[in-house]
Amino acid sequence: MERTEVDAVVVGAGFGGLYMLHKLRGLGLIVRVFEAGHDVGGTWYWNRYPGARCDVESMEYSFSFDEDLEQEWSWTERYATQPEILSYARHVADRFDLRRDISFSTRVTSATFGEANGTWLVTTDKGEEVRAQYCVMATGCLSTVNRPDIPGLDGFAGPVYQTGLWPHEGVDFTGKAVCVIGTGSSAIQSIPVIARQAAQLTVFQRTANYVAPARNQPMSEAYEEHFKANYKDLRRKQLQGYFGALPSGEPRMVPSMSVGDDEREAAYEEGWERGGLGLLGSFPDLLFDRDGNETLAEFVRGKIRATVKNPATAELLCPDDHPVGSKRMCIDTGYFETFNRDNVTLVGLKAEPIERISSEGVVTAKQAYPCDALVLATGFDAMTGTLAKIAITGRGGRTLKDEWADGPVAYLGLMVAGFPNLFLVTGPGSPSVLSNMLVSIEQHVDWIAGCIEALRERGAGVIEADPAAQEDWLEHGAAVAAPTVYPDGKSWYTGANIAGKPRTFMAYIGGVPGYRKICDAVTAGDYAGFAIDGAEAAPLPDFMAVLRTPQPAEAAA
Ligand code: N01
C-alpha cells in the first residue's frame, strides 16, 4: 500500500524530480513523487513535436552526479533528439530504481501547510492525501502550454496540435495542408520537418527571431572519448561558464565595439560556422552593449538575406524589434532554407493579424488560409503557470497565487517567504532557463538536500525564507538585469507572452558562477536570510559584492 505519511513529497518526475528523489533517499528519507505524465521525463515526455531536440550539447546536457552513469551512457548526436533524451531519463529512473516511489498519471491539486504540526498536506486528482515534512516542487519552468485565445479556435474542423502536448503516436501530415502559428524555438525546429511531409505549409509569424545554425552532427567517437576521459575537469569548467556550459571556441575577451568591423565580423563568422548558442558569446558584452548587440543582429539579418531567395520573405524573417538574446535565441537545422520551398508560405501577422479561426482554417485581416491541420507552437505560461494551477497555501492561509499576483518572488529562487519547508527546483529568481538546465537542477537539488540534512543534524524542524531577505534578493535580481538587453524583449522571460501576466524579469541573470557563489555564501553564513525554527535569520551577505568576487580559480588565473 502507498504510504500517506512520508518525509518528503516531490512534485514532478522530470530531471529535477528524479535527482531529488535519489538524493533524499540517500539521506534515508521516505519520499513519494507525483507525476502527471504516464512516465518520467518531464518536458521531454510532453514535447514530442517533429524535430524536437535539445539546443545544449548532449555531452553537457546530462547528470554529473554519478561517474558510472556518465561513462556508461552514449549520445549519438551533437544535439540529442527528444526520444534519446527521454530514453536517458528512463535509464536514470531504472538504474537508480526510482520508479517504485513515483505515482504516475497523478496530478497534485493542492499543498497546504499545517502550522500546528509543521507539515504539508498534499492532495492529488486521484483523491489521495499525503502528509510530509518537506514538499519539493520540481514542476519545471516550461510545463504549462499557452493555448492562444484566438476566437473560433475550438470550432476548427480538423485536428489542433500543440507542440508542448504532442500526441505520443506521432502525426502524419503527408498530403495535408498545415498551418503553424508561432515562430519560437519549437516552431523553428518543427517547421522544416513538417514542410518536408505536408503538401502545403503556411507559417504565421508575429515576431521574427534570431536563429543560428545548430550544425548538428553524429557524435564522433573521439569527441565522446575525450569528454569521458576528462569529464571531471570539463564539468568544473562548465560551472565557470556564465550559462553553465563550456565556452564554444575561443571567445574574444574584449568589448565588441573595441575591435574593428573586420575582426568583429570574423568573430561572428567563426561562431556561425561552429554553430549553436555560442554565437551570442562571441564577445562578453553582447548582452549589455546595445550597439555591439546591433552588430550581431545585423550579421544574422545578413545571413537570412543571403539564404532566403524571395527578398520580401527574407525581410519578413529579419528580426528588427528586439536585441539578440532578449528573447530566447533559437538554433535550427534548415529553418530559413525551408522558406525557399514551393510548398511553404510565410504570413507576417504585423501586417495581417489573425482575426479568427474558422472551421476551415486561419482567417487574417487580409484573407483566409484553409488547412487540414493546425499546429500551435505558441509556447508556455513559463515559470509560474504550473505552480499557479496547484492550490498552494502557506502560513496564515496565504496562497502562492496571491503572493505572486504582482510577479513571482522567491529567495534565491529556492523558497518563498511564508511557505516553510516548501522548496522550488529552478524557481523564479534563479538562473534556471538562462542556463544549462541540468547544471542548475543539480545545483538546486544538491542545495535542498544539503539544507534538509543540515536541519536534521541540528534537530530543527522548519526553515523558511525571511521576507526582508526575499525583498533584497528581488532588488538585487532587478539591479543585475537592468543594464542587460533582457528586459527589452517582449518574451516569456518577462511574462509578456501571456495576457494579464505581470511583467517582471523572472530568471536571475547574474550568471551560473556568480549565483553559485552567492548560494555558497548564504549556506556558509548559517543559511543567511533563512529563519530556522522561528529564530532570527542570519544577516545577508552583500550579494553584489559576492557576485563580483572572482572564484578561486579565476583569481589564480
Ligand atoms: O515558445 P515561444 P516555444 N498569435 O514562446 C507566438 C524552450 N525550448 O515553445 O514572439 C500568434 O518561444 C509567439 O509570438 P511572439 C526554449 O527555452 C527549448 O517555441 O510572442 N502568435 C512566438 O513566436 C524556448 O524559448 C528547445 O510575438 C503567437 C511563439 O508563438 C521555450 O522553450 C526547444 C500567439 C511562441 O514561442 C519556448 O519555446 C523548444 C498568438 N496568439 C523550446 N501566441 C530546445 O532546447 C504566441 N505566439 C531546443
Helix (H) or strand (E) holding 108: strand 108-114
Atom 8 in ligand 1: residue holding the nearest Cα = 185
Question: For residue 481, what is its C-alpha cell?
Answer: 538585469
Residue 497 Cβ inside 6 Å of ligand 1? The answer reads yes
Residue 378 Cβ inside 6 Å of ligand 1? The answer reads yes
Distances 255 to 243, 278, 300, 323, 374 between C-alpha atoms, Å? 19, 16, 19, 17, 45
Instruction: Quote the CA–CA distance of 532 and 128 in Å, as a whole number.
Output: 30
Q: Where are the beta strands (DSSP E) in 221-343?
A: 330-332
Residue 2 has pLDDT above 90, yes or no: no
Q: How far is the CA of 249 from the centre of ligand 1 (A)?
A: 28
Compute the average pLDDT of residues 504-520.
96
Instruction: Quote the CA–CA distance of 86 and 77 in Å, as a whole number.
Output: 14
pLDDT of residue 557: 33
Q: What angle do CA 443, 109, 408 make, to 5 degrees?
A: 50
Instruction: Quote the CA–CA distance of 211 and 268 in Å, as a whole number.
Output: 13
Q: Which atom of ligand 1 is nearest to the CA of 79?
A: 48
Whether the model pTM is above 0.85: yes
Distances 452 to 110, 361, 446, 527 between C-alpha atoms, Å? 22, 53, 10, 12
Q: Which of 145, 185, 215, 331 to mutate to test the pocket of ligand 1 (most atoms within 8 A of CB)?
A: 185
Report the amino acid identity of residue 3: R
**Nearest Cα residue to 537 out of 431, 462, 476:** 462
Give the tens place of pLDDT for each residue, 159-205.
999 999 999 999 999 999 999 999 999 999 999 999 999 999 999 99
Compute the average pLDDT of residues 320-338.
96
Q: Which atom of ligand 1 is nearest to the CA of 164?
A: 9
Report the amino acid identity of residue 89: A
- Residue 489: which pLDDT band, with cuts at 50, 70 and 90? confident
Helices 512-524 and 437-457, axial angle in degrees (round to 10): 0
Question: For residue 460, what is its C-alpha cell?
Answer: 530543527
Residue-averaged pLDDT of the chain: 96
pLDDT of residue 553: 53
CB 213 within 8 A of CB 275: yes
Residue 554 has pLDDT above 50, yes or no: no
Q: How far is the CA of 209 from the centre of ligand 1 (A)?
A: 10
How many other C-beta atoms are found inside a 10 Å radius of the C-beta of residue 40?
26
CB 283 within 8 A of CB 292: yes
Instruction: Quote the CA–CA distance of 170 and 160 in Å, as a whole number.
Output: 13
Grid coordinates 560551472 are at which residue?
A: 239
Instruction: Quote the CA–CA distance of 442 and 130 in Å, as a whole number.
Output: 26
Q: Which atom of ligand 1 is nearest to the CA of 150?
A: 41
pLDDT of residue 551: 67
Residue 556 has pLDDT above 60, yes or no: no
Question: For residue 112, what is its C-alpha cell?
Answer: 497546504
Q: Which of 15, 79, 188, 206 to mutate to test the pocket of ligand 1 (most atoms within 8 A of CB)?
A: 206
N-term to C-term CA, the chain: 57
Q: How far is the CA of 185 from the centre of ligand 1 (A)?
A: 6
Atom 5 in ligand 1: residue holding the nearest Cα = 379
Atom 46 in ligand 1: residue holding the nearest Cα = 378
Give the tens place of pLDDT for each residue, 373-418.
999 999 999 999 999 999 999 999 999 999 999 999 999 999 999 9
* Torsional sign, CA 160, 164, 169, 174: positive
What residues contact residue 179 under an 8 Å CB cut-off, 6+ apart? 201, 202, 203, 204, 361, 362, 369, 371, 373, 374, 375
Q: What angle do CA 72, 75, 77 make, to 5 degrees?
A: 165
Secondary structure tally for the chain: helices H, strands E = 18, 20
Instruction: Quote the CA–CA distance of 349 and 551 in Å, as a whole number.
Output: 47
Compute the average pLDDT of residues 94-122.
97
Give the tens place of pLDDT for each residue, 263-312.
999 999 999 999 999 999 999 999 999 999 999 999 999 999 999 999 99
Q: Which atom of ligand 1 is nearest to the CA of 433?
A: 17
The number of residues in the chain equals 557
Q: How far is the CA of 297 from the centre of ligand 1 (A)?
A: 19
Summarize the chain as % helix, strand, coil (round to 5): 35, 15, 45
Atom 21 in ligand 1: residue holding the nearest Cα = 182
- Residue 249: which pLDDT band, with cuts at 50, 70 and 90? confident
Say what percent of the chain tops pLDDT 90.
Answer: 96
Compute the average pLDDT of residues 499-518.
95
CB 464 within 8 A of CB 420: yes
How many other C-beta atoms are found inside a 10 Å radius of the C-beta of residue 119?
22
Residue 464 has pLDDT above 50, yes or no: yes
pLDDT of residue 555: 39
Residue 498 Cβ inside 6 Å of ligand 1? The answer reads no
pLDDT of residue 64: 97
Residue 142 Cβ inside 6 Å of ligand 1? The answer reads yes
Say what percent of the chain tops pLDDT 70.
Answer: 99
Residue 55 Cβ inside 6 Å of ligand 1? The answer reads yes
Residue 344 has pLDDT above 50, yes or no: yes
Question: For residue 448, what is its C-alpha cell?
Answer: 535542498
Q: How far is the CA of 145 from the centre of ligand 1 (A)?
A: 10
Compute the average pLDDT of residues 62-66.
97
Q: How far is the CA of 78 from the centre of ligand 1 (A)?
A: 23
